[in-house]
Homo-oligomer: A and B are copies of this chain.
């Protein structure tokens, strides 16, 4: 039959796995500009967290092994100084695995935005992925369309850029001494995985020098920007020949306010690339820039919470133009509100990480208070959450998955 005969599926490239940034990791495959291809990705944690009702697996996560990236993928013709245009054409979970998870990490193992405030214990929500929607038996009453994206995507650093990263982050660690959770993560051979059949000396070098994948940097990386979603076009600076793109940490959804990166899942990403010569200079490209997707979920009504950099712990403390603190207060205000409806603090925390909430920097100009807002789309709830003259109705939504010892 003619139809099938002329169908040329997009190839799924056999991809390697690695969990460090280093210029010497050789590409596992080379693609041509204009070619559409797919990449299989394991979830950020390497299939450690399961579809079950206990958070013990989150508690025991090995963070030295984060993140499991697919790649590097070399693009023919890309050279340092160029701009690599990457079209994120689609992202989806594996057909065989229509689920994902959102986790709260322990204060001592992974931390998170409110790890200290909440003295966090491991907790999680499992999400069922039904086509474009996510629902969770651990957070009843909500359903939302995923803003599906790679939490982590970036080009390989040059040796020089890698050196800069290691130097500046090392100085930060030194300046802070021991802190829980750590302020930054230095190169760490334990847990390093390069994943190709390489010269052991090279593996050793990469493991020793390779930058950890946790923060986003000039190459993109783990920026956790929800709007790098399927349908978006991204412009990356190129630092090494071939650009050497790596990708992973797929999310089915995530809000602007995130803890562990939204709904973690394994799946497939479909990409194509092109090259703009000299783009770093031409576009003043210090970090990536991008165009969001036309199919990001649209929920027109939002309930918005304001946050300022004052008194976030009830101690009356005044900060100075600190958007991080204002962001945290907006989140705390939202959590306090949702708890009035009956969700537990852990459910609220997980929901704000996973759902398509929007956090805007209102203004960082009116000294001494930065103002940040957090907007929750009301359409994701199957019940009315708006303030009304009768007050809010408190329901029992149970609890998310917690540790088997019951400690929350």
Contact = CB atoms under 8 A, between A and B. Distances in A.
Contacts of A131: 36, 87-90, 230-231, 270
Contacts of A1: 47
Contact of A391 (B169, B278, B373): B278
Given A291-B304, A297-B295, A282 B391 contact: yes
Contacts of A216: 306, 308, 362-363, 366, 369, 371
A142 interface: no
Interface in A323-337: 323-324, 326-329, 332-333, 336-337
Interface stretch (A19-27, A68-76, A180-188, A396-404): A180-188
B333 A371 contact: no
Contact of A99 (B7, B185, B386): B7
Interface stretch (A117-125, A193-201, A202-210, A311-319): A311-319
Interface in A351-366: 358-366
Interface residues of A, number: 151
B272 A9 contact: no
A276 B388 contact: yes
A329 B318 CA distance: 24
Nearest to A319: B172
A5 B50 contact: yes
Nearest to A278: B391
A300 B303 contact: no
A250 interface: no
Contact of A387 (B90, B181, B289, B320): B289
B308 A287 contact: yes
Given A215-B369, A340-B282, A371-B224, A387 B276 contact: yes
Is chain A's binding surface mostly helix, strand, loop or mixed? loop
A378 to B, nearest CB: 8
Contacts of A214: 366-367
A292 interface: yes
Contacts of A225: 306, 360, 362-363, 371, 373
Contacts of A370: 324
B333 A289 contact: yes
Contacts of A379: 294, 300-301
Contacts of A340: 282-284
20 contacts: A1-B47, A7-B97, A9-B97, A9-B98, A10-B130, A36-B98, A113-B364, A113-B365, A131-B270, A184-B368, A220-B306, A225-B362, A227-B373, A277-B389, A289-B303, A289-B304, A291-B301, A292-B375, A294-B299, A323-B326
